[in-house]
Structure 1
């Protein structure tokens, strides 16, 4: 029994590891039945086959002999390889194969003789050597002599009764002979120029008519310029057609192709790169998709065609069977077609990544220069483009409006979405938007996967959607600085949330936003917040994520982790690498252990590239880390320092930690008590001073930062009068925005005043506090519109106090702060600084009473113009 187990273990190792084998150990065996003798410096073919024939107990079924410089194949050389099932001879120099050398390979299923010098395509239409009837796949591409290819024919292979797949070169002005109609097992033919030679500028109705049994036809990169209307009409079983990389074709000339596909069983159509990379944007017209309506297509690929617009009502004719749409690498812009996306009645997956993607300019030199004039190679009149037919089809679809003209009432007509959509990808498209409230119509109840990563969605306000059943949401790499409290209300069932590589550090630490951003995401299992410039997290940031198992906070500026994990009963994977962490809090360590025990799964934590030092202060944590070092991912590669500050490896670190109990001495409690007492005393004293002068300090710190790291105004050097960008910076609470936008701004701008507003003039990506100081410094006056909501906003109070400090320190004693009292505000709700300012400076009260309002505006404009 032990011998059997040992033998099984040895076989499993041999089967999973590449080991030397073959003659003189020059080959490699990744599996016990696969031998690779490629690129072995002309290792004699006979030696290889003799080795296979002599192998005892190990049966080689698959043999690779690519790029060995073989020039011929003789019967005597390969007789030992007769048991092979697959033989790969690609990239040799074989020009001669002995007539019957392969005929007795009764088990051979796959034969690859591509890129040799064989006389495969000749005017006789025959092969100079016989092939075994057992073949299922035959690869002969790359054997065409392009300079002498006129009048050559495809070889007669009618004796291969079991052949299913052929890979040939594509011959110019050559039809497949009638013998191919007898090959009833033939399912796939590839003539692709992407891996071989293909030059078929004109394809007629006779070119493929004898391939009656095939289901897959690959004509990619065949230099096709034109086709006749019935080109695929005889291929009744055709299911997959690849016409990609035919840059002379274009959509207009492809109309004949779509016409002939009506008579097939087509399911997948690849129309990628029918245009060169560079040029004007293309338009997908009604006539281009007309005949597709009468097919059962389930997948269409339109990648890299510079598609910019889709003609009105064209989407109505997309087949109802369509489930997968690939439109990557185009240049879509806003158009009427966006209101007809619901015409994709049963579309489940859409891939639109890399829109407006920058291209390698060298492609311009490599690609052909095409005449892209609107040339239509057919006189076919598609019956489905008639208005009455389009209207009838649109009515049969759930949300597929028909538009008579280009006049659309944007207030009454909403963009539609495919009602059956499950997966949508639009990553790396360079889209730059502030994601405000957007209603998706109809509600995509089946949507499960949404990827909008790699764009510039710099602010997520929402609500956006809703997307009630999305499980995977990726909004990473979007330069986002702000998340509205209602944004994730539309994604309550998300389980995997990827929002790494944004700028969310400030908003996640905010005491108002921090606890509420993820409040509705109770079902999230995986949360990625890496690379978000996070230095501090609000303790309640993840409190409602009761199903969270994996939390990634890597590549941030976190020094200490103070999050509430009381409700995180499923958290077992924590990634903290590339931070400034010295220790992990005890409550978090205990939580990981408890969760691991209850779930019967090992917890993991990654502290790579943090600063971990041997220290008495962190004794408890260091001992815990050493105890659980098997749970520390990449522990042997951590950065460790001993008590002297010298860098040590993991082994030395473990030994130093074990010695900590003796090294730390017995005065720890006294030292701790004294330290605590002194710290409390100093904290009280310093805290009182800092609190009393808190606004002065904040202002001076910010101004110091701007002075040293920002710019210096020119008037300070030349003693010139200061010039301001704005007449006034308006500070107001978001809840009062209607009064500001509808009344105050029109009135002031009507007087020729230039105003600064945080909604439109703050620079995206800048720190909010810096934006506020720049706005105050660049404005002649700052107007604080005081209301109940103003007093509740931390940012509004910050703006008031910074304007107050500006008046005191930077305007030579001239006040730049104007207070407008919007409503009755109890003085008990005002800060001491605000009350003190109002006692020594005048303010204006807003009223809507007719006479009082006239007086208000007279006074207000007079103060603003001083």
Structure 2
């Protein structure tokens, strides 16, 4: 009932939103190709994006928001916005604008956001502040990806500007004194990813007049060298991105890490500061030693060909560090692994190890710049010491299969990302050191055999082992993580092992599991008790398997709200399963089942299932996409389907009964006729069998096994003829021994029995065919 109320309420809300949307959106009077919408303050929002407009129209004075993106506008004429003092947002991106007039933005003294990226504005824009002078309230300015020639925008009049996104292609190493007036500027984006950037050298004067900047993005700016002191003046800097400056290398960030203690740095991104196909690298103490004097929280070192870390580097990381990303590197075995205990991070990303890269990812051209700098090298006598320490350390020894292998991880670590690292191995018996681990993503590897168990994962809540080609999971593998709430194991080969778990031991330890994804595992069937311990399950995904029937028990899953059995081989749901679903609706307000992509049959065999669809409270998802395989109808109209099936199957029942009845009658008639026609033969056979069972006195010696030469069958009225004439000639003259009933039949036996015995003991049977014989009962014999 509650679910129906929610659905009705949602439908009403959507209808109201639709009506309001339809009522408010209308073609603008000043340009019918644009769409206008009134805001709550009776101001207009104008959408002219993608309308092939070449000239900016004159907007009314009550316009608040204007989008002219993705058109063919070439210039912003003087005074075109002079009546739009209430305009707050203006988007002119992705046009063909090549010039800005001195009064292009006249009248926009309340404008807060100006987006004019992806145009052709170049040196025609004067470096004077006349163009932007009216924009006294502007807070956000995006002029990225305009000309790639040498020019700069003078924005000194924008004293309220907070975010500035511009190109920097002069190759010069400074922002002039005009930027000193931008005291509110906190976000500076010069990234070459979204525009043009060429800043080969950074000096102490580069950001001298931008001392209030907090967020600085210098990614892909082709920086070759950074002088000492380049960031020292940025005391408020808390985010710095130097990624994809491939000529820097680790030696190029020494001056950066030396400056960062003077800042408020929290996030440092130095991804891909080596060439894509360079030799593998090593991170040394001298590269990052001054980071220990910062309060940095997050550091990114992705895609740096990193293979080794000098022992002691991890100990230099500040205690404030919480997140480290070192994905897409080439890490190998080394003594630095022993320093992991000293790290206080709670989130580590070491995904994509050993990944292949695009061959056409060309090296960045680097200039040979020699401006001096501190020397940096590995501390001496480390190699021999490393070998000795490794040999002494029990945690790095080789273990046999029946032993638990100890794994030491940082105590504070909560999340680890080990995605797509090309690791091919089985999970042996593992015992983790004391930890707070809550999240593990080890998907897209080749952990093909989950033997385990993996102990001491008592805090683990999320485990992703999907896409690992696993074909075996032991019944004790999950016992080390009893508090797991989300288990993702889709796209494996568990269909080879789960059908044999008739006692439900595989998932028995996961009693508080809420989400289980077993999709795409080639599962042909599931035992009834496979999920017997999952009382708290809320989402169960079995899609993309080979299930032809589902009959596992789920009545105990009183919190289950979402079942996905799509893309299997189900033609219907059995009554026992639908009954469980109906019982669950008594506990769950909104139970959804996804059966899309199954070959549902709308036949007489599935009429009970179709009928269930018309009455159940269970919400069947995507019914409008689910077509019956035997009828050109969709399950969203299940009542109509049921009505047609009921009529069709009912007529079939009548036909079947009628045909069966006629078949029975016809068979009885045929059998009766045959019995009547061959009744005497049947009686004869009957008496033959009966005589064999009762037994008769057989003659001791007979010629050729016959007692008589002939049995004489005649009517009683022909006695005179038989005894006076026939027997006299036959027996006396012909010496033929005859059997006649008044002389030779055994007294006390039935007539039919005597006749049968006489025929059986006589070589021939002679019938005295007379009118009397034809009129007697003997003719029937």
Q: Given the alignment of the two structures, is residue 589 of structure 1 paired with residue 578 of structure 2, yes or no? A: yes
Contact residue 640 and residue 653 of structure 1 kept, 8 A: no
Superimposed CA distance per residue, residues 274-333 of structure 1 (whole angstroms, 9 cap, x where no aligned partner): 122223222222222211111111111112222222222211111211112222222223
Change (3 A) 1:404 1:141: same
Q: 1:500 aligns with which of 481, 486, 490?
A: 490
SS of aligned partner of 1:350: strand
Q: Distance in 1 between matches of 2:23 and 2:441?
A: 36
Q: Distance in 2 between matches of 1:411 and 1:31?
A: 72
Q: Which residue of 2 aligns with 1:814?
A: none
SS of aligned partner of 2:585: helix
Q: Which residue of 2 aligns with 1:172?
A: 171
Contact residue 156 and residue 177 of structure 1 kept, 8 A: no
SS of aligned partner of 2:257: helix
Cα offset, 1:576, TM superposition: 1.5
Q: Which residue of 2 aligns with 1:71?
A: 74
| 1:499-648 equivalence runs, <5 A | 499-511=489-501, 515-599=504-588, 601-628=589-616, 631-642=619-630, 648=633
Comparing 242-251 and 155-164, the one that deviates more: 155-164
Q: Given the alignment of the two structures, is residue 416 of structure 1 paired with residue 408 of structure 2, yes or no? A: yes
- TM-score when scaled to structure 1? 0.67
Change (3 A) 1:242 1:412: closer
Cα offset, 1:104, TM superposition: 3.0
Q: Which residue of 2 aligns with 1:41?
A: 52
Q: Which residue of 1 aligns with 2:217?
A: 218
Change (3 A) 1:265 1:30: farther
Q: Which residue of 2 aligns with 1:360?
A: 358
Change (3 A) 1:31 1:539: farther
Q: Which residue of 1 aligns with 2:229?
A: 230
Q: Which residue of 1 aligns with 2:107?
A: 104
Cα offset, 1:404, TM superposition: 9.5
Cα offset, 1:22, TM superposition: 6.5
Cα offset, 1:234, TM superposition: 0.8
Q: Which residue of 1 aligns with 2:277?
A: 278
Q: Distance in 2 between matches of 1:235 and 1:62?
A: 35
Aligned residues: 629
Change (3 A) 1:670 1:405: farther
| 1:375-390 equivalence runs, <5 A | 378-379=373-374
Q: Distance in 2 between matches of 1:76 and 1:440?
A: 70
Q: Distance in 2 between matches of 1:597 and 1:254?
A: 63
Q: Distance in 2 between matches of 1:369 and 1:124?
A: 30
SS of aligned partner of 1:450: strand
More helix, by proportion: 1
Q: Distance in 1 between matches of 2:513 and 2:239?
A: 39
Q: Which residue of 2 aligns with 1:82?
A: 85
Of structures 1 and 2, the larger Rg is shown by 2
Q: Given the alignment of the two structures, is residue 440 of structure 1 paired with residue 432 of structure 2, yes or no? A: yes
Q: Which residue of 2 aligns with 1:750?
A: none
Change (3 A) 1:208 1:534: same
Contact residue 534 and residue 556 of structure 1 kept, 8 A: yes
Change (3 A) 1:662 1:116: closer
Contact residue 623 and residue 657 of structure 1 kept, 8 A: no
Q: 1:14 aligns with which of 5, 21, 30?
A: 21
Comparing 349-358 and 492-501, the one that deviates more: 349-358
Q: Given the alignment of the two structures, is residue 475 of structure 1 paired with residue 465 of structure 2, yes or no? A: yes
Contact residue 307 and residue 332 of structure 2 kept, 8 A: yes
Change (3 A) 1:515 1:93: closer
Cα offset, 1:204, TM superposition: 0.9
Cα offset, 1:532, TM superposition: 0.8
Give unpaired runs (5+ residues) of structure 1. 54-58, 391-401, 672-866
Q: Distance in 1 between matches of 2:167 and 2:224?
A: 17
Change (3 A) 1:167 1:121: farther
Give unpaired runs (5+ residues) of structure 2. 1-11, 397-405, 660-781
Cα offset, 1:265, TM superposition: 0.5
Q: 2:159 aligns with which of 154, 158, 161?
A: 161
Q: Distance in 1 between matches of 2:33 and 2:442?
A: 49
Q: Which residue of 2 aligns with 1:657?
A: 645
Change (3 A) 1:589 1:321: same
Q: Which residue of 2 aligns with 1:132?
A: 135
Q: Which residue of 2 aligns with 1:321?
A: 320
| 1:775-794 equivalence runs, <5 A | none
